[in-house]
Structure 1
Amino acid sequence: MTSSNCDSPVSESSDSNSIIKHWFYEHTIDAKKRWTPFSFVDSQALEEAFTSHDSHRSIITTDGGRFDVNIPERIRIPVYWKGENSEVRRCSWFYKVDSRSIPYEEGIADLLEHEYQEALRTEDWHRRVELPNGEQVVFHDANVIVHFQQKSTPDNWGTPTSPISKPRVVKRGIDDFNIEDGDCDKIDHLLFMVHGIGSVCDLKFRTVEEVVDEFRSIAQQLIQAHYRTAYDEGEVGRVEVLPVSWWNSLHSDESGIDQKLKSITLESIPKLRNFTNETLLDVLFYTSPVFSQNIVDTVANSLNKKFGMFMNRNRNFKGKVSLAGHSLGSLILFDLLCHQKSLVVNGDSHENVEAVKLVKPEVVRHKVLERTQSKQIDYRVGLSGTGQPLMKYPQLTFAPKNFFALGSPIGMFVTIRGIDKLGVDFRLPTCDGFFNIFHPYDPVAYRLEALVNPTLANVPPVLIPHHKGRKRMHLELKETMNRVSTDIKTKFMSSFKHVTETVCALNPITKNVNHKAIEQEVNEVIDKQLNSEINQGKSESANDETKDSNDNLQLGQLNQTKRFDYVLQEAPLEFFNEYLFALTAHVCYWESADTILFIVKEIYNSLGVEADKEIPQHSLKIERPTLKSSDAPQTSTSVERR
């Protein structure tokens, strides 16, 4: 593997005329090429292997171990998931297309560099370089270099067959790119994330690999901000996050399900019907005894395979493993974890066993019970009482430390399976921690605490703090509105009193009017609205004291007698219309800094590492990877979101 540390390497040359060769890889999106630079650490490792001419170093691990680069073939290969190999180049010269910077092929870049150095030596800048494809690059001076595309051949009337393109700007070096330092070698924890319905995970139509990339990037930035002291001292490094996909297996050509659905699908409203077949029907597939077995097997096998690959590539890893699932993915993991065996190796329970040394996978067989709510279907019921159509559940080769359910319908599915109560003794056999995280407007999410203990139904979920450690803008706005409402009431009553006194003075008939009764009626109307807003604010602020009262609640063993229903704070814009933002609320978790920080803190709390008490608010900005559909050359943008 690539040898690196948490510090960025020095990559500048003392010779101002020399060029730094940096390695790039290509993305092909909508038939457009988008080139992204490797991190400084990865590019340096690739350059060292390239210049060493060592055949044993032809394959270099990059991106924290998630990709391999074959230097002779110039391809980048994903390690933990199936995907297209991408082209790799050793770059130094670029030309602009719109706002995108595209590197020249290595041979052409060497030619341009040779001409550039000759122009510097002779001080003769009026040079015209012919390219192999017939195009030209003209050197006007050291800073003005343009690329003229090949002229179109005129027709019989002398008219060009295509519009004449403007000359392209040519750039030397990597100054226009925002290049990351590279992943830290120290991995503290491994987190697997399972997607929900459909082949895409959010409204940007990104795959699980893409959204997990952003999740991982934000997590590392939050670690560096909130654990700055421990990070600088080398006590913490990073959390590795790997995606787990099951959709492609279900909808593969081997299963034939898509072709069968196509043959029976009506031709009207095709886009809506295709959307239903590719996404919403996944829920029905999982409730089918035939297809649910395929889904569970795919997830379990993928987890075991990727865990084994990770351990082989990171032999010094001593950390724990956690699982996270979004939407239907959380239900799949929940059912899988409910049917795991309580692992005991050499007399120790699973809490004290290294994950890599666990038992060989096998199938758990539980007693089959018949439920009165559905007499036609036999349900396989776990040791603690959860049910699912008769299935064989594979065993994982590791014991998860925590399970994070994001926007999860677990509570609803458990209920419709005929289970009224899980009970305070219910727990996941091999997993200690469970956290049910949801957005308040998420239409798919359900609570779970009431299923463990019905008396918890009226206890509000725990409010997840903002990642900057302050109240959200809309909560502050509510408090401001309450103060403004009070001021408006005072001014209104003052004006109303003045008007009534004036009217009474002008009209003797109104002298007998009961002014106190009128004032009392107006007060009741205003107070009713004001109290409604205040009570809503109080119900939310009460969450701040919820953790202190956990000792008085019977929370059961699902999360080691701790709370496990956690709610996000809605964003300021979402506050104004909860129905409008219901759809975005269900897919917000992948890029929610509040969610990611909560998961990071729970992971490091289990390691006994505390976050810094204060963080530099002015400098805490989340750098998010640019959308793949963007043409911007930068690899990250600075924005602030949930």
Structure 2
Amino acid sequence: MASIEDCSAGECGDVAIPSFSSSTNPNLVEGALPGLLQNTPSNIARLEDVIEHCENHRKYLAHTNSPSDGEDIRWYFCKVPLAEKELAASFPRTEIVGKDDYFRFSTRDSLAVEASFLQREEELLAYWWKEYAECSKGPNHPRNSVAASGYCSNELYAVEEERVGVPVKGGLYEVDLMKRHCFPVYWSGENRHVLRGHWFARKDGRNWLPLREDIAEQLEFAYHCQLWRRRKFQPSGQFAARIDLQGTREGLHALFTGEDDSWEAWLVFDSSGFSVNMGGGSEVKLRRGFSPSASPKLSQDEMHQQMEEEMDDYCSQVPVGHLVFMVHGIGQRLENANLIDDVADFRRITASLADRHLTAYQRSTQRVLFVPCQWRRGLELSGESTIEKITLDGVPGLRATLSATVHDVLYYMSPIYCQNIIDSVSNQLNRQYAKFLKRNPGYNGKVCGQAIFQPKKLLVLSSHGTFTGGL
């Protein structure tokens, strides 16, 4: 996969070259391991100890004193959801992740994901390379297709409750390391690609952006071979060692310069090999391990990212003392209606208020978990199709608005459909509460519900006197 000049297998020691043809046991994909549920206040403190004593972790430590060397691995998740049956190994499309394409997990979330990754590294990498090979077979094997064996099918998670991963972002999301997905726990949502950031590139002179994992693996191989010790004059006149990389561009390679304690690496996109100056137009500087932004003044996006990380780190350290279910009212079928985003905004507002009005001790003892309850989008009422057929044509926008709002009120007032709505709300609440208890056994905090449409909440409570959770 990687071609290194003047570096034979014997000279490189025991470093293993990643293989596209690695196999894995499909049966290992199913089910969840108890060791995945580690990002909780009770045991977050031992994650560093788990990583420290993990044998696989040693190879990721910094073995030189070069400023380009580090050991801080960070995990990222894509802003854009994966399409149905789209394989995570096909992302990102470019060697360097776009600045606005991925969000970074918080320090503690990354720590939890990395600890679980190291415990199953061989198995997880084998599956990832197999999936990557599936994405790279060419025109006769369509990109992002599902493997004939069925490993990559979403049917593995036909039973939603069986899918359990590493809790992140306050327990609202989990990471499936086998399929490299980040998915919501309490509501239906798309999968987002998860990326392990080990090698980074700086394109704009400020931010270090993660490299695609197949490129990072090839650079890691060169690092363990101490490639900079095999420097020679390149066609451009540079005294450097070169490694040809397999990527999306022809002629992609990396150049290593310097000594053990001063080596530097550059990713070069010039296929001619006649780059004049390091840091010119076709090269970007590389480093091993994450490093924060070098700019003392953060941009607005970077400040938002920092606030999100601080909130997630806080949630990973403080136990849930209050569980609040946010139940929407009418209008959730509108195109622009999104309860998930609304609850996220509400969560940020309450966090800001807590910072201002609660003491440090109060904030450190317990927190509130807000869970959106989407009951309408999955509810199909028998009369809806009939209503749509007899509705006269008119202004499309107005008709869609009336159908998604006024009709919901009429359904609720109907004795025929009112019970269907109540059952949908209560079933969704019970399902979400069962998920919460599965992930928080022994929870003895408070449970409450906030409904935008108050009569609905009262009717649900009066109709279900033995409602699970004691709303």
Same fold (TM over 0.5): yes
Change (3 A) 1:125 1:247: farther
> Any idea what the Cα deviations from partners look like across 1:534-563, whole Å, max 9, x if unmatched?
xxxxxxxxxxxxxxxxxxxxxxxxxxxxxx
**Percent identity of paired positions between Structure 1 and Structure 2:** 28
Paired positions, count:
324
1:18 aligns with one of 51, 70, 73: 70
| Structure 2 match to 1:604 | none
| Structure 2 match to 1:194 | 327
Residue 286 of structure 1 aligns with an amino acid whose one-letter code is Y
- Does structure 1 conserve the Cα–Cα contact (< 8 Å) formed by 2:325 and 2:429? yes
* Mapped partners of 1:139, 1:319: distance in 2: 57
Residue 339 of structure 2 aligns with an amino acid whose one-letter code is V
Change (3 A) 1:127 1:306: same
Under a length normalisation based on structure 2, what TM-score does the superposition of the two structures give? 0.56
RMSD of Structure 2 on Structure 1 (CA):
4.3
Change (3 A) 1:144 1:51: closer
Q: Give the CA deviation at 1:3.
A: 4.3
Q: Please state if 1:2 is matched with 2:38.
A: yes
* Mapped partners of 1:112, 1:398: distance in 2: 52
* Mapped partners of 1:259, 1:97: distance in 2: 54
Change (3 A) 1:103 1:274: farther
Residue 131 of structure 1 aligns with an amino acid whose one-letter code is Q
| Structure 2 match to 1:244 | 373
Change (3 A) 1:100 1:150: farther
Q: Please state if 1:61 is matched with 2:132.
A: no
Change (3 A) 1:167 1:264: farther
Q: How does 1:537-616 map to 2 (within 5 A)?
A: none
> Any idea what the Cα deviations from partners look like across 1:311-362, whole Å, max 9, x if unmatched?
2321232211121122x3x331132234454xxxxxxxxxxxxxxxxxxx4x
SS at match of 1:28: coil
- Does structure 2 conserve the Cα–Cα contact (< 8 Å) formed by 1:35 and 1:102? no
| Structure 1 match to 2:198 | 92
| Structure 2 match to 1:109 | 216
- Does structure 2 conserve the Cα–Cα contact (< 8 Å) formed by 1:224 and 1:231? no
Q: How does 1:130-529 map to 2 (within 5 A)?
A: 130-135=245-250, 136=252, 145=266, 148=269, 172=287, 173=290, 175-176=292-293, 178=306, 179-180=309-310, 181-183=313-315, 184-199=317-332, 205=336, 207-231=338-362, 234=364, 236-250=365-379, 252=380, 255=381, 259-326=385-452, 328=453, 330-339=454-463, 341=465, 361=466, 396-400=467-471
* Alignment gaps of 5+ in structure 1: 152-165, 342-360, 362-395, 401-642
SS at match of 1:247: coil
* Mapped partners of 1:206, 1:149: distance in 2: 47
- Does structure 2 conserve the Cα–Cα contact (< 8 Å) formed by 1:220 and 1:239? no
Change (3 A) 1:37 1:52: same
Q: Please state if 1:49 is matched with 2:116.
A: yes
- Does structure 2 conserve the Cα–Cα contact (< 8 Å) formed by 1:220 and 1:238? no
Residue 91 of structure 1 aligns with an amino acid whose one-letter code is G
* Alignment gaps of 5+ in structure 2: 1-36, 53-60, 84-90, 93-100, 125-163, 232-238, 258-262, 273-280, 294-304
Structure with bigger RCO (C-alpha 8 Å, 6+ apart): 2
Change (3 A) 1:73 1:336: same
Query: Which protein is bigger by CA-based radius of gyration?
Result: 1
Change (3 A) 1:4 1:302: closer
- Does structure 2 conserve the Cα–Cα contact (< 8 Å) formed by 1:192 and 1:243? yes
1:38 aligns with one of 97, 105, 111: 105
* Mapped partners of 2:209, 2:326: distance in 1: 33
* Mapped partners of 1:280, 1:169: distance in 2: 57
> Any idea what the Cα deviations from partners look like across 1:265-307, whole Å, max 9, x if unmatched?
4444223322332344322222222332221111111112222
* Mapped partners of 1:150, 1:81: distance in 2: 47
Q: Give the CA deviation at 1:240.
A: 1.0
Q: Give the CA deviation at 1:182.
A: 4.9
* Mapped partners of 2:190, 2:270: distance in 1: 30
Under a length normalisation based on structure 1, what TM-score does the superposition of the two structures give? 0.43
SS at match of 1:248: coil
Change (3 A) 1:316 1:226: farther
* Mapped partners of 2:203, 2:410: distance in 1: 46
SS at match of 1:397: coil
* Mapped partners of 2:389, 2:107: distance in 1: 51
SS at match of 1:23: strand
* Mapped partners of 1:319, 1:221: distance in 2: 22
Residue 292 of structure 2 aligns with an amino acid whose one-letter code is D
Q: Give the CA deviation at 1:143.
A: 8.2
Change (3 A) 1:197 1:218: same
* Mapped partners of 2:168, 2:404: distance in 1: 33
* Mapped partners of 1:66, 1:188: distance in 2: 15
